Chains A and B, each alone.
Chain A
């Protein structure tokens, strides 16, 4: 039985990088779906001109709501594996097989593409402050759950059918990657595996994490970890 694989590509104002990212994605021959999160630039025009498979959100939802739409689509269309890929070209498509393999071998339910598993400093990305924040977050995960995820904020993830179903019904709206990773970690119901990947430098655009918002982000994620640890009820 062949496994159906879907690439979920959330896009918000990615006019500068979308075509380039999509070139490498269409080469892979995997199914994909672009979730256009109410972009206000030329992103929707590019999508229409190039006839990319896409969903236009009728209103901006933010990254969490957009990615969840992708998981809902994956669930409804019976995909076995869903992989999140950023539209800005940060995620190196050549690592897709590395993400899929542990799921095919039933070694993991969720595979996180992480640039911190390998100790090679060349493979590490982003600023010192960000790396420090991720280190701290990783330590917090370990403290509250006893398990280590080296790169809890990575948005380059592959999910099997069980995780797709879970995410389709339950997905955090803000800072979805660390929070949903932690939720799966705590539930003890899912196997999470990290594989080393290299991240590309952003070809264009800005990260959605701005410096002045990082304090709010830290509080939000930290509070989420505490509340989830206390046993948070899920939405119906």
Chain B
């Protein structure tokens, strides 16, 4: 194993541990953890078995394997970010609805309270 492989394996395992601790503490939901779990597992596999990726990398025309890995990492991060934006937009709509309905309800309650 090269140094790079060992570093990558250690980093992946560390990330994996952080995610599992967060899951145990229930600070992230199972649903939202799946993307984050796949990431270190994928990088751990690359660290242990770099050959298929090396072949693919040179076949696609990358000069070094590290460039290819950077590209994959950035692409994954952009994807993750985009999914977060989708979630934020949806939640913004949900929160707006909640504030509106809640405020209307409160107004109703106040009015009823006064007429009693």
User: CA–CA, A61 to B104, complex, Å?
Assistant: 14
- Assuming A55-B107, A56-B106, A58-B106, is B100 touching A69 (CB within 8 A)? yes
In the complex, B99 has a CB within 8 A of chain A: yes
In the complex, B2 has a CB within 8 A of chain A: no
**Residue of A54, A57, A73, A235 with most partner-chain B CB within 10 A:** A57
CB distance from A128 to the nearest CB of B (A): 35
Chain A interface extent, by class: 10 to 19
CB distance from B109 to the nearest CB of A (A): 11
Set of chain B residues within 8 Å of A10, measured between Cβ atoms: none
Q: In the bound complex, do residue B99 and residue A58 qualify as a contact, i.e. CB atoms below 8 Å apart? A: yes
In the complex, B112 has a CB within 8 A of chain A: no
Number of interchain pairs (Cβ within 8 Å): 36
Q: In the bound complex, do residue B103 and residue A58 qualify as a contact, i.e. CB atoms below 8 Å apart? A: yes
Set of chain A residues within 8 Å of B48, measured between Cβ atoms: none
User: CA–CA, A56 to B96, complex, Å?
Assistant: 14
User: CA–CA, A73 to B100, complex, Å?
Assistant: 9
Set of chain B residues within 8 Å of A69, measured between Cβ atoms: 100, 103-104
Set of chain B residues within 8 Å of A76, measured between Cβ atoms: 104
B residues 65-115 with Cβ under 8 Å of A?
92-93, 96, 99-104, 106-107
Q: In the bound complex, do residue A54 and residue B107 qualify as a contact, i.e. CB atoms below 8 Å apart? A: yes
Q: In the bound complex, do residue B100 and residue A57 qualify as a contact, i.e. CB atoms below 8 Å apart? A: yes
A residues 48-71 with Cβ under 8 Å of B?
54-59, 61, 65, 68-69
Set of chain B residues within 8 Å of A65, measured between Cβ atoms: 96, 99-100
A residues 126-155 with Cβ under 8 Å of B?
none
Q: In the bound complex, do residue B100 and residue A56 qualify as a contact, i.e. CB atoms below 8 Å apart? A: no
Closest to A38 in B: B99
Set of chain B residues within 8 Å of A59, measured between Cβ atoms: 99
Set of chain A residues within 8 Å of B106, measured between Cβ atoms: 55-56, 58
Set of chain A residues within 8 Å of B92, measured between Cβ atoms: 173
Q: In the bound complex, do residue A61 and residue B96 qualify as a contact, i.e. CB atoms below 8 Å apart? A: yes
User: CA–CA, A59 to B99, complex, Å?
Assistant: 7
CB distance from B18 to the nearest CB of A (A): 33
The 24 sampled A-B contact pairs (Cβ below 8 Å) are A54-B107, A55-B103, A55-B106, A55-B107, A56-B106, A56-B107, A57-B99, A57-B100, A57-B103, A58-B102, A58-B103, A58-B106, A59-B99, A61-B96, A65-B96, A65-B100, A69-B100, A72-B100, A72-B104, A73-B104, A73-B107, A173-B92, A173-B96, A235-B93
Seen from chain A, the residues whose Cβ lies within 8 Å of a Cβ on chain B are 54-59, 61, 65, 68-69, 72-73, 76, 173, 235
Give the 5 A-B CB pairs with smallest separation, nearest first. A55-B107, A69-B100, A57-B103, A65-B96, A59-B99
Seen from chain B, the residues whose Cβ lies within 8 Å of a Cβ on chain A are 92-93, 96, 99-104, 106-107
Given contacts A55-B107, A58-B99, A68-B96, 11 further A-B contacts (CB under 8 A): A55-B104, A56-B103, A56-B106, A56-B107, A57-B100, A57-B103, A61-B100, A65-B99, A72-B104, A173-B96, A235-B93
